[in-house]
Amino acid sequence: MKISAKNILLNTGWQHDITLTIEDGVISDIKPGIDTDAEQYGTVIPGMINCHSHAFQRAFAGFSEQGSEGKDSFWTWRKIMYQFLAQLTDKDAQAIAKQLYIEMVKSGYTRVAEFHYLHHDQNGANYPELATMAKAIFNAAKEAGIGLTLLPVLYQYSGFGAQAPNEGQKRFINSTEQFNQLVSDCFELSKEYENSNVGIAPHSLRAVDKEALSAAVAHLTLLDKNAPIHIHIAEQQQEVNDCIAHYGKRPVQWLLDNMAVDKRWCLIHATHIDQQERQGLASSGAVAGICPTTEANLGDGIYPTTEYMLEGGYLAIGSDSHISVNPIEELRWLEYAQRLDRQKRALLATNKTPSVGQYLWQSAALGGAISTNTNAGELALGKQADLLVLDEQAMSLFAQKPQHLLDSLVFATQNNAIKHVMINGQWVVKDKHHPHEAESREAFSKLLGRVDLSS
């Protein structure tokens, strides 16, 4: 396949009148000029990678916004979420994930890292096949056409000091031995699904201890020494205080001191970090997985992105709870939070890339590729052909020169400006439509009608 673009954002920057040759899902040639035999497009940019997703929470969006006179927090939200997920079957989980992933693809995400911790049946018992719920996620990704990095979650305790899990967490819990078997099973499953890979996600320092964390990482490394490792960390101030009380150190510092944190690791949120932790994270090569809309929705706080990027840190974005499924909104609020915090403008940019929108898009896409250990995140020779074609009619209403295009996309567009989406060399969305969107939407809507949170 060949595609020609009038404007294309390659890893070297904006280029004009370029033809890509795509073979077996990979960009095999890049040549100047418009090839008359190629498919003709206007503006092409790299696809975005979603570094953090809890798919089932897409069906929970809207259920938790009832006020309580300022007494709500992440922890009260979590109680309602447990009540919701207790009702879901494996078929429900697949229907929700399929709807979510179609929405992701249509909005410009071409790969998702699924932080998957809903392992067992509604009573907390093992399925006959440990990976039943994982298989539902694989199937949903296949039907949606999105690339998948599955991250089975190790979850054992309700708090620091090996506190017993509560009733709402019974569907998450595995012994270390059983978890390692689940990971092995997921590796075998991934061989059946194109454009997928597997890592692990120790849930958090409060949900696993050092022994289990070390054993899970060691097992994963035997399966694949480059497989990604994601972990929730320092999302809430209470979590930081509890970690200090238990370990005598802040969470990120404890992780840096006790684990070989490197580019395999993605630290999700890491909101409440001090200067030493921030600099240690930046120099480690690990990725900070920032989820601006969820962190705002839950009242988590603001990550010190400006300083972190100046120190050479890698970042990726995630939609987490899916209160929003839109990479543009995540990037917009990544920058806006910094502006509000510092009362300055255009903070996330460099002299080399003065366009904030371009800097954010390229940084997050590349960081997402690192966080998922995938050959994606930029358009270059030998890279996977994950790309987006912008809607020229929609973009014609804003500044259109290449140096302004991604600023217009990120900060000015309100409606979806992604017209076509290619993933692994295949068109998954054409003219803003996905082939399974109608049937998926109907099934998802019916599922929502069955959910009862009245008790």
Confidence of residue 453 (pLDDT cuts 50, 70, 90): low
Contact 145, 195 (CB under 8 A): no
pTM for the predicted model, two decimal places: 0.96
Q: Are residues 300 and 358 in the same domain?
A: yes
Of 320, 386, 391, 407, the active-site residue reads: 320
Neighbours of 68 (CB within 10 A): 8
Q: Are residues 354 and 281 in the same domain?
A: yes
Is 269 an active-site residue? yes
Region 166-194 average pLDDT: 96
In a domain, 444, yes or no: no
Return the closest-CA partner of residue 251 out of 262, 237, 263: 237
Domain that holds residue 205: 48-372
pLDDT for 362 equals: 98
Could you report the per-residue pLDDT of 256-297, keeping only the tens digit for each?
Answer: 999 999 999 999 999 999 999 999 999 999 999 999 999 999
Is 121 an active-site residue? no
In a domain, 454, yes or no: no
């705002």: which residue's tokens? 296
Domain count, the chain: 2
Query: What's CA 401's distance to the chain center, in Å?
Result: 30
CATH for 192: 3.20.20.140
Could you report the per-residue pLDDT of 375-420, keeping only the tens digit for each?
Answer: 999 999 999 999 999 999 999 999 989 999 999 999 999 999 999 9
For CA atoms 336, 337, 343, 344, give the dihedral sign: negative
| CB-based burial label for 345 (10 Å; 0-12, 13-18, 19+) | exposed
Region 348-362 average pLDDT: 97
Report which secondary-structure segment, H or E, holds 80. Answer: helix 74-85
In a domain, 87, yes or no: yes
Q: Are residues 316 and 281 in the same domain?
A: yes
The percentage of the chain sitting over the pLDDT mark of 90, rounded to a whole number, equals 90
Q: Are residues 209 and 131 in the same domain?
A: yes
Of 269, 272, 322, 434, the active-site residue reads: 269
pLDDT for 84 equals: 80
Q: Domain ends where: 372, 400, 425? A: 372
